[in-house]
A and B are shown apart, each in its own frame.
Chain A
Amino acid sequence: AAGVIQSPRHLIKEKRETATLKCYPIPRHDTVYWYQQGPGQDPQFLISFYEKMQSDKGSIPDRFSAQQFSDYHSELNMSSLELGDSALYFCASSFQSGRGLETQYFGPGTRLLVL
């Protein structure tokens, strides 16, 4: 079965640079979530989109922005990168159906290292 695809899988950037992470949800899934997992930490919710509209916002820094496109893929744009942004970034997708019980399926993550 098709899974959530994230690209790139690994990314190395320097401080103050920008990065763009991409997420391709499971076909027919209309909701995308972004999470950040620091070393040894639990995932922290950043932002989510339902039907191309932002549906919820978590602890996403102002330096980050995201959007969901007409084909339901999503991009997380990160600017003025800081050392503390080094983490594993997960994307998850679900079929919302207006309820929170839908399972979120996670991609393999993008490991970002900021030097």
Chain B
Amino acid sequence: AQSVTQLGSHVSVSEGALVLLRCNYSSSVPPYLFWYVQYPNQGLQLLLKYTTGATLVKGINGFEAEFKKSETSFHLTKPSAHMSDAAEYFCAVSSDSNYQLIWGAGTKLIIKP
């Protein structure tokens, strides 16, 4: 079975500060890991994904995430937050034996001016 845990339902950072959104997963098979962003009243947009290969993955809008197998983590970071980053972020996992996405509960990112 697979599961995803996102620490913190809300994260607040100042504009220009580092963004760190935490995601831990459990999976008995090699996981594929995804971060999606959801802006208010909009659909889910893929930020980045890890499948195989390089463990540091770069995505859109300056976000990146690092797959750490030993820590079963896939935390999302951005060096400098922008007001337009305010949204809800979802971490998700799938695998070759389970194509459906298993989602974390989501983290609302709040950017303070």
A107/B95 in contact, CB under 8 A: no
For residue B95, which residues in chain A have a CB less than 8 angstroms away from its CB? 100
For residue A64, which residues in chain B have a CB less than 8 angstroms away from its CB? none
- What is the interface of chain B mostly: helix, strand, loop, or mixed? strand
| Given A42-B104, A43-B44, A107-B43; A99-B96 close (CB under 8 Å) | yes
Alpha-carbon separation in the docked complex, A44 to B90 (Å): 12
For residue A92, which residues in chain B have a CB less than 8 angstroms away from its CB? 44
For residue A43, which residues in chain B have a CB less than 8 angstroms away from its CB? 44, 90, 101, 103
Alpha-carbon separation in the docked complex, A54 to B36 (Å): 25
Contact of A56 among B43, B51, B90, B100 (CB under 8 A): B100
Q: How many residues of B contact A (CB 8 A)?
A: 25
Closest Cβ neighbor of B32 among chain A residues: A101
Chain A: minimal CB distance from B22 (Å): 15
For residue B49, which residues in chain A have a CB less than 8 angstroms away from its CB? 101, 103
Chain B: minimal CB distance from A76 (Å): 15
Interface centre among B32, B42, B101 (most CB of A within 10 A): B101
Interface residue? B55 (CB, 8 A):
no
A90/B43 in contact, CB under 8 A: yes
Q: Provide 16 A-B residue pairs closer than 8 Å at the C-beta atoms, listed in order of the A residue.
A: A31-B99, A33-B100, A42-B103, A43-B44, A48-B99, A56-B99, A90-B43, A90-B44, A99-B96, A101-B94, A106-B36, A106-B44, A106-B45, A108-B42, A108-B43, A109-B42
Binding site for B on A (CB under 8 A): 31, 33, 35, 41-45, 48, 55-56, 58, 90, 92, 96, 99-101, 103-109
Q: Known pairs A100-B97, A103-B49. 17 more at Cβ < 8 A? A: A33-B100, A42-B104, A43-B90, A43-B101, A48-B99, A56-B100, A90-B44, A96-B99, A100-B96, A100-B98, A100-B99, A101-B32, A101-B51, A101-B52, A104-B101, A106-B45, A108-B43
